[in-house]
Amino acid sequence: MAKKKKIGSTWSRRRHVINGKGRYVYVRKIGGKYQTRRHKPEVHGIALAKKIMAQRPKESQKIDKQRAHKRKISPTDKNLKSWKKRPGSADIKGNVDSKKRKKN
């Protein structure tokens, strides 16, 4: 059994092999019975940018994709945190919210 790490007051995190891969599972014991739930890994980079973009209203997405901004930022956590506050201020490298260009 893997080493336990306490999460909060009741849940502890353990590493288990699920479908051939090492995954983290949260475990707690209540009334003599164990409850488990799977750990959801954090999302970073372009996947996070796409997630943020999908949460915006459809009209805002449409307007943002029609315009190509001069300022292009890399999808790091720090940049995405500031971009989330004002997504219309810059484009993210990787065609997340930029204007689609025709290929010749």
Both 33 and 67 in a single domain? no
Distance CA 75, CA 96 (A): 10
The angle subtended at Cα 66 by Cα 64 and Cα 68, nearest 5°, is 80
- pLDDT at residue number 77: 85
Q: Is residue 57 assigned to a domain?
A: yes
* Amino acid 58: pLDDT: 92
What are the backbone dihedrals phi and psi of residue 12, each rounded to the nearest 5 degrees, phi first? -125, 150
- Taking only the tens of pLDDT, the chain with its 104 residues reads 566 665 555 788 888 787 777 778 888 888 888 888 877 777 788 888 888 889 999 998 888 888 888 888 888 888 888 888 988 888 888 888 876 665 55
- 50 and 79 in a single domain? The answer is yes
Domain range for 25 is 5-38
Question: Has residue 77 been placed in a domain?
Answer: yes
Check whether residue 34 and residue 57 sit in a common domain: no
Confirm whether 98 is domain-assigned: no
**What confidence score (pLDDT) does residue 103 get?**
58
Specify the residue for token string 């288990």.
16
50 and 88 in a single domain? The answer is yes
Q: Give the whole-angstrom CA distance, residue 38 versus residue 20.
A: 15
pTM for this predicted structure: 0.56
Number of folded domains that form the chain:
2
